[in-house]
Amino acid sequence: PRQSRKRKSLAIAYEGDGAEPPRAPWEPRDWREQLERIREMRSSRDAPVDDMGVQKCYDSSAPPQVMRYQVLLALMLSSQTKDQVTSAAMLRLRRRGLTVDSVLQMDEETLGQIIYPVGFWRNKVKYIKQTTAILKQKYGGDIPSTVEELVQLPGVGPKMAHLAMHIAWDSVAGIAVDTHVHRISNRLKWVKKETKYPEETRVALEEWLPRDLWKEINWLLVGFGQQTCLPVNPRCSQCLNQDICPAAKRL
Entry pTM: 0.88
| pLDDT, tens digit (0-9, with 9 covering 90-100), for 13-53 | 444 455 666 777 899 999 999 999 999 999 999 999 999 99
- pLDDT given for residue 18 in this prediction: 56
Residue ranges in the chain modelled with pLDDT below 50: 6, 8-16, 251
- pLDDT given for residue 249 in this prediction: 63
- pLDDT given for residue 161 in this prediction: 98
- pLDDT given for residue 251 in this prediction: 46
- pLDDT given for residue 147 in this prediction: 98
What is the CATH architecture assignment of 29-43+174-250? Orthogonal Bundle (1.10)
Q: What residues are labeled active site? A: 159
Class of domain 59-172: mainly alpha
Enumerate the domain spans of the chain: 29-43+174-250, 59-172
Domains 29-43+174-250 and 59-172 in one fold: no
Burial-class residue 72 by CB neighbours within 10 Å (0-12, 13-18, 19+): buried
HSE value, Cβ hemisphere, 13 Å, CA-based, for 142: 12
Q: Could you tell me which of 159, 178, 250, 189 has the C-alpha nearest to residue 221?
A: 178
